[in-house]
Amino acid sequence: MIRRFKTSKKIMSTMLVLVLLITVFSIVHAKADNTKIYKDEIEQSVRKVLTDGFSEYYKINNIKIRFDDVVVNNQNIEVNLLATMNTALKVKKVSELPYVKGMLKRINLSDFSYESKAKTDEAVVKANKNNLKNEQLAKVSKAIDFKFNDLQQYINKSDDNFFYLKITADISNDKIVQNSIKILAENIDSFVPIKQMLPKTSLEMEKEGFNDIQLVIDSKEKQYLPNLYSNYDRIAARDYANKWSSNPTSCKDHGTTCGIRQDRDKWNNSDYPYYNELCHADCADFVSQALHAGGIPMDSTWKRGTPANTSVAWVNTHSLKKYMLTTKKYWKSSTYASAAAGGILYTSSGHVVLIVKNDTVTRQYSSHTNDTKKHNYSNINGYKYYVLW
């Protein structure tokens, strides 16, 4: 009798343990399921923001989401993710872009249809000969010709746009509180509300085009046409930057503790071997590589070699700008609205990146230090823009 009681007690204890294990498993499983639900809700929010923000100007072919970090507790969720949006401009002609409409409006060419440089010269002179000087007419015609040829590459072409996002939201009763969702987007070296990364209104873009052509009209000859490097191939520089950059999740060599995202396997290590003296700050080195790929020649002041033979102007952001802007006069100042692929962007912190796209609606850059490929950016007070043409 006693033995049977002990056996029954042992069976009950075993069953109790099994029940507890099943309960714990169920709780863990439920939390895992909740995490998936939370991620789905976050993804839907990101898709909606991007679709609502860009669909006026682009056909959105697809949006892909890569979750990098997800931290969930009982009260909130924190997420880091990369959103990839593939788009194509809806306009069929360059002249339909709001920015270009603004340019043409300022010079009385609202019905202009681009054919050639000669035809542009003729149209500009005919519409403005009574209110612009000859040198102004020449500069305006050059600016119009450049813009139409530059923007034609974006018509009827699909392209990827990348956004690195930090998202937070409150959780209540195992559900995300929708009005608590906050989406911040990486904007080169800072994070801003995603709203700041969305396209401006058509009227705002028209005003940008109007103002930019006015800057051309008002510019002094020496300021507008400095001794730039005439053989610079800005498209080759852009292609180099896009080829040798990527969108990694963390620092490959040191894990997440290094605080930045790098994948050195995707660098041009054969031509520009990495060395420890660069530490994790190789943004100027990367931009110098792209500029050299665009045809800017090395010299004794600007060169890459072994650590001992690499110049300060090649790897230091301040020295690079001084060399290109002051010493050689290869660069000239530009604007957020007009700086095109192959141009340079400096942030207020001294970070430098290569501009790889400007279709007048959105802009992109590629860079190192944080490895980034074709990330969208918006204008921030303190950003400086330079071009070589």
Quote the percentage of the chain above a pLDDT of 90. 78
Average pLDDT over residues 216-228: 67
pLDDT of residue 244 exceeding 60: yes
What value does the mean pLDDT of the chain take? 90
Give the pLDDT band (50/70/90) at residue 106.
very high
Superfamily of domain 226-389: endopeptidase domain like (from Nostoc punctiforme) (3.90.1720.10)
How far, CA to CA in Å, does 130 sit from each of 74, 136, 137, 177, 293?
A: 71, 12, 11, 62, 44
- Count how many residues are written for the chain: 389
Average pLDDT over residues 42-64: 98
- Is 2-91+157-186's fold the same as 226-389's? no
pLDDT for position 227: 62
pLDDT for position 178: 92
pLDDT for position 224: 40
Q: What residue has token string 């990098």? A: 68
Give the pLDDT band (50/70/90) at residue 376.
very high
Average pLDDT over residues 14-23: 56
**Burial call 100-135: b when 16+ CB within 10 Å, e when fewer:** bbbbbebbebeebebeeeeebbebbeebbeeebeee
Quote the percentage of the chain above a pLDDT of 70. 88
pLDDT for position 23: 53
pLDDT in tens, 308-351: 999 999 999 999 999 999 999 999 999 999 999 999 999 999 99
Beta strands (DSSP E) in the chain are 58-72, 76-89, 158-172, 175-176, 182-186, 191-193, 332-333, 344-346, 352-358, 363-367, 372-377, 384-387
pLDDT top residue among 63 and 12: 63
Domain spans, the chain:
2-91+157-186, 226-389
pTM: 0.88
pLDDT in tens, 293-313: 999 999 999 999 999 999 999
Average pLDDT over residues 199-205: 97
Please provide the CATH number assigned to the domain covering 2-91+157-186: 3.10.450
Average pLDDT over residues 363-367: 98
**What are the structure tokens assigned to 76, written together?**
């909130």
Give the pLDDT band (50/70/90) at residue 278.
confident
DSSP 126-180: HHHTTTS-HHHHHHHHHHHHHHHHHHGGGTT-EEEEEEEEEEEEEEETTEE-GGG
Picking from 332, 339, 333, the residue whose alpha carbon sits closest to that of residue 99 is 339
pLDDT for position 74: 82
pLDDT of residue 179 exceeding 90: yes
The single-letter code of the amino acid at 272 is Y
pLDDT for position 126: 96
pLDDT for position 348: 94
pLDDT of residue 383 exceeding 90: yes
pLDDT for position 138: 95
pLDDT for position 161: 97
